Amino acid sequence: MTKDLIKKENKKNQKKKIPKEISQEILKKIFGNLLKAVGVMIYFIVLSLAYVTMQQERLIGDIEVFAGAFLVIGIVFLEKAYKKDNGSIAITGIEFLFLSLHSLSIMHVITLLKYDFRLYLLTSSYVLSIYFVLKSIILYTKGRKDYLNSLSDISEIVKKDEPIKKEARKRGEEKEDKLEEQKEKEEIEEKTEENLQKETNQEEEVKIPKKKKNKHKKKKSKKKKR
């Protein structure tokens, strides 16, 4: 009993394990999001260092250049997503668009709300990196759930097909039983016909010698009369 339970548990665990192909796809998505988080952190660190070394006018120009580049990249990703009808590519395009808008609004937010430049960039980098980490966790959990749901859907389909197969087997068995019954009836009828023929033949054989005896008797009676 204990061995059977261990085997069942091992089978369940093997089913819950994600195959290598699916796990590799999920890990690629997670790795891509983590790279995005690292890239955002590096971008904001570079801007904070440039704020110390560069003049403000040149820094604003560089930020506008970065914002324009992010805007172009986001539009390209959105066009690819529209052509391929892919949601993940569309999300990356929206992320680049958000990054370009954020870059353009840095100087306006600092001047209006009177924030520290470096502190604002540090907080925004933390927020965006946390977003990408959470996104990677959500992608992993979603991929695992989708795989398990696909297994449950397959089991449900098999369960639905089982009664249909059972009905088909029953029908096949009923047909076979009917054919066997018909064969048995035909065999019985053939045997009864053979027995009837034998009986009729025996009766005819018995009648023939009786007729011969009657003829002999008639002949003898005629002789005596003479």
For the chain, the structural domain boundaries read 16-144
* Average pLDDT rounded to a whole number, residues 33-44: 92
Whether residue 87 contacts residue 81, with contact meaning beta carbons closer than 8 Å, is answered with yes
What's the confidence (pLDDT) of residue 178? Answer: 72
- pLDDT class of 204 with cuts at 50, 70, 90: low
Q: Which of 131-135, 195-199, 210-214 has the lowest mean pLDDT?
A: 210-214
> Token pair of 95, please?
């992320």
AA letter at 188: I
Check residue 18 and report its DSSP letter.
P
- pLDDT class of 226 with cuts at 50, 70, 90: very low
Whether residue 128 contacts residue 106, with contact meaning beta carbons closer than 8 Å, is answered with no
* Average pLDDT rounded to a whole number, residues 179-198: 75
Whether residue 103 contacts residue 128, with contact meaning beta carbons closer than 8 Å, is answered with no
**55 SS3 class:** coil
> Which pTM value belongs to this model?
0.60
Residue 49 clears pLDDT 50, i.e. is over it: yes
Q: Residue 36: name the closest of 131, 106, 138, 142 by CA.
A: 131
Tell me how far apart the alpha carbons of residues 151 and 133 are, in angstroms, rounded to a whole number: 28
* Average pLDDT rounded to a whole number, residues 202-210: 60
pLDDT digits (tens, 9 = 90+) for 145-164: 887 787 765 555 545 555 56
AA letter at 148: L
Cβ neighbours around 86 below 10 Å, total: 13
Q: Which of 57-61, 119-123, 129-133, 221-225 has the lowest mean pLDDT?
A: 221-225
Contacts of 146 (CB under 8 A, 6+ apart): none
Higher-confidence residue of 172 and 56: namely 56
Residue 177 clears pLDDT 80, i.e. is over it: no
Tell me how far apart the alpha carbons of residues 68 and 64 are, in angstroms, rounded to a whole number: 6
Q: Which of 28-32, 54-58, 96-100, 154-158 has the lowest mean pLDDT?
A: 154-158
CA 104, 107, 113, 115 torsion: positive or negative?
Answer: positive
Higher-confidence residue of 30 and 214: namely 30
* Average pLDDT rounded to a whole number, residues 23-47: 89
